[in-house]
A and B are shown apart, each in its own frame.
Chain A
Amino acid sequence: MKRLLALLGVLALIATACGDDDTATTAATSAAPATTAAPATTAAPADPLQAAADACTPGQVDGDLSFYNWTEYIDPELIDAFEGEYGVEVIETFYDSNESMLAQVDAGGAVYDLIVPSDYMVTIMAEEGLLIDLNDSAITNLGNLDPTFTGLPFDPDGAYSVPYQWGTTGIGFAYEALGEDFTPSWSVIFEPDPSYAGEISLLDDSRETLGAALKYLGYSLNTTSQAELDEAVELIRGVKDSIKLFDSTTFDDNLVEGETMVAHGWNGGFLGSYDGISTDDYDAYEDFGYFIPQEGGVAWVDTMAIPRTAEHVCTAHTFIDFLLDAENGAALTNWNFYASPNSASAEFIDPEIIEDESIYPSDETFANLEFIADTGDFEINYQDALTAIKN
Chain B
Amino acid sequence: MSTPVGTPRLEAASERANRRRGLLLALPSYVYLIVLFAIPLVFVGVYSFASRSRTGKPELADWNLDAVAKLLDSTVLQIAWRSTWLALLNTVLCLLVAYPFAYYIATRRERVRNMLLLLVMIPFWTNFLVRTYAWRVLLDSDGLVTRLGEGLGLWGSMLFSAPAVFLGLLYGFLPFMVLPLYAAIERVDWSLVEAARDLYASGWKAFRRVTLPLTRPGIIAGSILVFIPSLGAYVTPDILGGAKTTLLGNYIVGQFLAARNWPVGSAVSMAILIVMLIATTVYFRSGGRTF
- Chain A contact residues, CB within 8 Å of chain B: 3-4, 7-8, 11-12, 14-15, 17-19, 21-22, 24, 97, 99-100, 102-103, 106, 123-124, 127-128, 201, 204-206, 240, 243-247, 257-259, 374, 376-377, 379-380, 382-384, 386-388, 390-391
* B256 within 8 A of partner (CB): yes
Report A126 CB to chain B, min CB distance, Å.
9
Contact indicator A18/B128 (Cβ below 8 Å)? yes
* B183 within 8 A of partner (CB): yes
How many Å lie between the Cα of A21 and that of B131 in the bound state?
11
Query: Which of A21, A258, A386, A390 has the most chain B CB atoms closer than 10 A to its own CB?
Result: A390
How many Å lie between the Cα of A247 and that of B52 in the bound state?
27
Q: List 28 A-B contacts (CB under 8 A).
A: A3-B183, A7-B180, A8-B180, A11-B175, A11-B176, A11-B179, A15-B176, A15-B229, A17-B128, A19-B249, A21-B127, A102-B260, A123-B55, A204-B243, A206-B258, A206-B259, A245-B160, A245-B241, A245-B243, A247-B243, A376-B54, A377-B54, A383-B258, A387-B79, A387-B254, A388-B75, A390-B244, A391-B245
Report B207 CB to chain A, min CB distance, Å.
22
For residue A388, which residues in chain B have a CB less than 8 angstroms away from its CB? 75
Contact indicator A376/B128 (Cβ below 8 Å)? no
* Interface pairs A-B: 3 shortest CB-CB: A245-B242, A383-B259, A99-B257
How many Å lie between the Cα of A127 and that of B245 in the bound state?
34
For residue B159, which residues in chain A have a CB less than 8 angstroms away from its CB? 259
Report A309 CB to chain B, min CB distance, Å.
16
How would residues 239 to 265 of chain B score, 1 for a CB under 8 Å from any chain A CB and 0 otherwise?
A: 001111110010101111111110000
Report B156 CB to chain A, min CB distance, Å.
12
Contact indicator B245/A390 (Cβ below 8 Å)? yes
* B232 within 8 A of partner (CB): yes
- A21 touching B129 in the complex, CB below 8 Å, given contacts A12-B225, A127-B55, A377-B52: yes
**Which residue of B is nearest A381, CB measured?**
B259
For residue A100, which residues in chain B have a CB less than 8 angstroms away from its CB? 257
How many Å lie between the Cα of A135 and that of B78 in the bound state?
51
* B228 within 8 A of partner (CB): yes
How many Å lie between the Cα of A202 and that of B172 in the bound state?
27
A-B contact count (CB 8 A): 122
For residue B179, which residues in chain A have a CB less than 8 angstroms away from its CB? 7-8, 11
Selected from B225, B242, B257, the residue in CB contact (under 8 A) with A103 is B257
- A103 touching B183 in the complex, CB below 8 Å, given contacts A11-B176, A15-B176, A21-B127: no
Within 262-289 of B, Cβ neighbours of A (below 8 Å) are at: none
Selected from A22, A258, A374, the residue in CB contact (under 8 A) with B253 is A22
* B100 within 8 A of partner (CB): no
How many Å lie between the Cα of A240 and that of B245 in the bound state?
11
- Given A12-B225, A128-B57, A387-B79, output 18 extra A-B contacts at Cβ < 8 Å: A7-B180, A15-B225, A18-B128, A18-B172, A18-B235, A19-B232, A19-B235, A24-B127, A99-B257, A240-B244, A244-B160, A244-B242, A245-B241, A247-B242, A257-B140, A259-B159, A379-B259, A387-B246
For residue A382, which residues in chain B have a CB less than 8 angstroms away from its CB? 258-259
How many Å lie between the Cα of A109 and that of B214 in the bound state?
50
Contact indicator B246/A390 (Cβ below 8 Å)? yes
* B56 within 8 A of partner (CB): yes
Chain B residues bordering chain A, tally (CB within 8 A): 48
* B188 within 8 A of partner (CB): no
* B71 within 8 A of partner (CB): no
For residue A123, which residues in chain B have a CB less than 8 angstroms away from its CB? 55
* B124 within 8 A of partner (CB): yes
For residue B261, which residues in chain A have a CB less than 8 angstroms away from its CB? 380, 383
For residue B128, which residues in chain A have a CB less than 8 angstroms away from its CB? 17-18, 21
Selected from B56, B75, B172, the residue in CB contact (under 8 A) with A124 is B56
Contact indicator B54/A8 (Cβ below 8 Å)? no
How many Å lie between the Cα of A122 and that of B46 in the bound state?
28
Report A273 CB to chain B, min CB distance, Å.
16
Contact indicator A380/B259 (Cβ below 8 Å)? yes
- A8 touching B225 in the complex, CB below 8 Å, given contacts A3-B183, A245-B242, A245-B244: yes
Contact indicator A391/B141 (Cβ below 8 Å)? no
How many Å lie between the Cα of A390 and that of B241 in the bound state?
12
For residue B55, which residues in chain A have a CB less than 8 angstroms away from its CB? 123-124, 127-128, 374, 376
Contact indicator A19/B257 (Cβ below 8 Å)? no
Within 161-206 of B, Cβ neighbours of A (below 8 Å) are at: 172, 175-176, 179-180, 183
* B221 within 8 A of partner (CB): yes
How many Å lie between the Cα of A42 and that of B215 in the bound state?
72
How many Å lie between the Cα of A19 and that of B231 in the bound state?
11
How many Å lie between the Cα of A201 and that of B179 in the bound state?
39
For residue A384, which residues in chain B have a CB less than 8 angstroms away from its CB? 75, 259
For residue B75, which residues in chain A have a CB less than 8 angstroms away from its CB? 384, 387-388, 391
Contact indicator A379/B260 (Cβ below 8 Å)? yes
**Which residue of A is nearest B161, CB measured?**
A244
- A4 touching B235 in the complex, CB below 8 Å, given contacts A21-B129, A22-B253, A376-B55: no
